[in-house]
Every structure is written in C-alpha cells, then in structure tokens.
A and B are shown apart, each in its own frame.
Chain A
Amino acid sequence: MKVLVPVKRVVDYSVRVRVKADGSGIDLNGVKMSMNPFDEIALEEAIRLREKGQVDDVTALSIGPRTVQDTLRAALAMGADKAVHIELPADTPIDSLAVAKLLDAIVREDGYSLVLLGKQAIDTDLGGTGPMLAGLLRWPQASFASELTLIDTHLRVVTETDSGLRTLELPLPAVVSADLRLNTPRYASLPNIMKARSRPITVRTPAELGVDVTPRLRQRAVSPPPARAKTAIRVESAADLVRSLRAEGALK
C-alpha cells in the first residue's frame, strides 16, 4: 500500500511576516522557509504507518520552483521513501484547485491508496487542497484528523469539530487532512539529512500531467492588518480593573 504526502514550502511558522511597501505581496527576501507544519504532521503519520508495517511506501510530493526540493530533502530526511517534484517556473502563482488537479493526476497515475496532508498551509490559511482532491477523486475524506487507525481496508479517524470530536470510518482509498494533535513530528537525524542530499527526486511538469494550472483568482493587493493603536493601561488590583471595564462599558 502506497501513501502520498503533499508537502508545501512556506515561511517558517516563527517568522513574523512583513508586507512589501508597494502592497504587492509578502517580503520573502532572506526569510526562513520550512515545511508547512501541518504537512510535517501528515508525513510523520505516514512514516509511523510504514514503521508499523501497514504501509509499504511513503512518497512526498511538492509543487513549485526548484527551491521546493529543499522541502523534499527534509521529507526524505524525516523518512519518506520517495520524492516527487512538480516543477513550476519561479514566481508562478498556483491556487488550491490547480494543486488538487496535479495531485489527482499523480494519484491516478501512480496508484496511491491514501493521501495524507496538512489541514491547511500556514501562508494562505485556506485548507482547500484536501477536500478538493477528495472531490476530484470521488474518494471519502476526513478533515482535521487528531487520531488515525488503519484497520485492514479502512481507516478509523477521529476528527476535531467546532463542538468536540467526531469519529468516522473511511473505506480506502481516502484523503485525510492532519490537525495539530495527530502526532508530534520527529526531528531528522544528521546522518539522515546528509543521506537525503544525494537521494533521487523525480521531476514532473503540469504539462506532462495534462493539467492546466492557470489561476482562477488574481491577488490584487496585500496590506498589513489595521494596528491596534492603543497603549495598554496598567492596573494594580481587581477593583481597579473592574472599575475601568465598567467605565468603558466592556462590563455591565
């Protein structure tokens, strides 16, 4: 059984991003890039399934310019068996629908039984790719998984909802998106990082896969959020705080 884990290269979660002065986007100059943390969790889960002997092969896949190969090397160092790079020219915008179509084409070609991916990327915060891919494949889906068990030919998945938890059973093949609490991803060891440098990466293109990646959305402007132009008032006691909150109507 083969598992596909799409991994996205994004601005590291610890970086406070800056908007470019001309409003044309985020300033990525010299900014630390990493694997999307939710994809890292998805990859960890796939590797654990392989370590339990329930999965034979874990393939990491990334879409973008040459630089996404860094992310694929990180995936190989963590324990992915194979890496696929769908190459786009530098600075090509791509939206979730096109990503889902590329993944759909790869899944149909290479015969995966499970796609495990992050619930959202922390740059666009959209979370469209998983459900879109499941729709294109007409496969069952589970979003925001916090627990996953593979039993023969089906998955038991506990997912996080707005009011608690929901347990679903999905026949394979299926698409599952990983939430924070699914696991804690491992760190790659130095020897594995070194070994990953010389591992092969299969390079494909959208044209080969017959997918039109023309964006359906145009980003017109990016701006910083309005600042909270307030200086905090220091309070010294409960009575002080309650008086202030009542005075401004925050407490009735």
Chain B
Amino acid sequence: MSILVIADLSGSALNREATAKAINAVRGLDKVSVLVAGYQVAQPAAEVAALEGVARVLVADQAWLAPRLAEDMADIIATLAPGFTHVVAATSASSRSYLPRAAALCDRMVIGDVTRIVDRATFERPIYAGNALEVVESLETGIFLTIRPTSFSASLGVQPPAPIEPLAVEQGAVQTIWISDSVRSDDRPDLATAPIVVSGGRGVGSAEGFQLVVQLADRLGAAVGASRAAVDAGYAASDLQVGQTGKVVAPRLYIAVGISGAIQHVAGMKDSQTVVVINSDTDAPINQIADYVWSTDLFTALPDLIAAL
C-alpha cells in the first residue's frame, strides 16, 4: 500500500510548487504515487517523475480531461483510491471541488486544508477562519486529505525518473459542459506562492487608487492581493482576494494598504513572516498583527515608497 498524490496542474502545465508541497507533506509516511490527469500532460508527468520521493507516476491523458472537471477527476480518483492508504491534493479551488466528490464516491470523509500531519491518521487543520486549530483523528482506512500549501515546504530534490504508467480511463456519465475559462493574464507572480504580496483594501478609495497598490507591487516584483471590501467595491478581480474566502498566503513580506483587517482577511495572511500596514486609521485591527505600522495618507505614502525603493 502507498499514498496517492494528485498533481496540481494549470492547463497542461505542472504547478510544481503546490505539487511538491503535497508530496513533501506525506512522503515521510509511505511510498508516493502521483496521478497526473489532464490533456497533453507528458511534460508535467516527466517533471513529476523526477521529483524526489516519487515512486510511480500514473497518467490519464485525454482530450475530455482538458478542463479537469470535478466529475471526471473524482471518477478517476475514486477508481484508484482503494489501492492507497491516503489520497492527497494541495488545497485549491479545483481540489476543493473534486476531492470531496471522490471521497463520497468511496464512502469516505475528507479532511481539508491540513496544516500539520501529526501521524498517519491524525491531522491538524484550522477552523473558524483560523481562529482555532483542531486536531482530528480519522477512524477510516483510506484517508482523503487536502493540505494547505503555505504550511509545507516545496523544497524537493531531483531523482532518476520514476516509472510512468498510462491509465486506461473512460469518461463517466455526468455531462457537465465546460464553456470557457477567463484567466487573468499578466506577468505578475502567482499570489499563492509569491515571496512578497502587496494588498489593497477599501481605503484605496477607487479603482484608480488601487493602481497605486499595483505600482508598488510591480516595483517590488510582488503579487497583488485585495481584501474582500476592495473586490466587492470593484477595485480588484475576485481571484486576488486574500482571506477565509479567497486565497491563503504566507509570503516573506506582506504589505497591507488601506486594509482594516477583518477577521476574514486576517485568516488569509496572518502566517506571513513580516507584515507592514500602511493606513490612515491608527487603530485598525490589522495593526495588532503588524510588524511595522505606517499611519499616513496612503496616496502620498505609496509614491514616496515607490521612489525610495
């Protein structure tokens, strides 16, 4: 018996960091097989095979798997799962959709967003927007997990390639039709993994004000984030949202601009190493978790900061 890790892909490209973190999280427990499912995935399969700790790569490569619909992913995973002690994926919008479905097809529970693996059956995870941590023990054989990427290391050596085995898979009966993806395309680093994140909140006042946040991020080579208030106000796109709803980030440096720090936002960034707050509100709740607070008018402060870098 061994562990099945589901590789994280964007289209036909491997999300190496998220996949490495999922492998790293569990490779101390047992041998790891990795499922690479998608369309035209020979390249990501080869990349995965060379990751340290991977014993075997299983590949499902089909045109109908191109959008990696939850229904199809779950069918494939549920078919494979009985041969493994654990089925593991990095937490993402995609895995949060297919993994519980796969678990239910196997009559199994799912343990989401694991931040620490205590032992083979015991896991720590945040609840209540990270205001508490629970340790849960699974009473099942065949455990389905998603792991929170910010809690695990992506550092993984290379190895001589592990064997790659094609899987024979057939499309299931559920006919969800993929219509389109609209993907934000810019050259900025990925929010979930960037070492520096600059986030804007309601305090930026307008979409134009938010551009100051973007300019600071570009000057630093940082990812851009946003609070829910900024997204709801239309200053920023929804996939930039940091928080309980949205992305969880833990960069080396997090700069919060015009963000008050609602519980739900703090849930998504409080594990950042260094937190800088730039805000005119001297009593904003976010100051309580900040390392540096600059209470100032952000409209003059941001241009100053950009010039000082």
Instruction: List the interface of chain A (C-beta within 8 A of B).
Output: 11, 13, 16-17, 19, 26, 95-97, 100, 119, 122-136, 138-144, 146, 156, 160-171, 179-181, 215-225, 228, 230, 232-239, 241-242, 244-245, 248, 250-251
Contact = CB atoms under 8 A, between A and B. Distances in A.
Contacts of B270: 225, 228
Contacts of B134: 219, 221-222
Given A165-B239, A242-B305, 5 more contacts: A123-B128, A167-B179, A218-B136, A241-B305, A244-B292
B100 interface: yes
A42 to B, nearest CB: 14
30 contacts: A96-B110, A97-B108, A97-B109, A125-B127, A126-B110, A132-B103, A135-B100, A135-B101, A135-B105, A138-B174, A141-B176, A161-B94, A164-B237, A167-B179, A169-B179, A180-B232, A216-B109, A217-B137, A220-B122, A220-B137, A222-B133, A223-B135, A225-B133, A232-B287, A233-B291, A234-B293, A235-B292, A239-B308, A248-B274, A250-B273
Contact of A97 (B103, B126, B239, B252): B103
Contacts of A245: 253, 274, 276, 292
A26 B128 contact: yes
Contacts of A221: 134-135
B178 to A, nearest CB: 6
B104 to A, nearest CB: 4
Contacts of A232: 277, 287-288, 290-293
B138 interface: yes
B295 interface: yes
Contacts of A127: 96, 100, 112
B178 A26 contact: no
Given A131-B101, A135-B102, A16 B179 contact: no
Contacts of A95: 109
B interface majority secondary structure: mixed
A140 B175 contact: yes
B177 interface: yes
Contact of A144 (B93, B139, B274): B93
Interface residues of B, number: 90
A216 B192 contact: no
Interface of B: 10, 67, 69-71, 74, 78, 92-94, 96-105, 107-113, 122, 126-140, 173-184, 192, 220, 228, 231-232, 237-239, 244-245, 247, 252-253, 263-264, 270, 273-274, 276-277, 287-295, 301, 304-305, 307-309
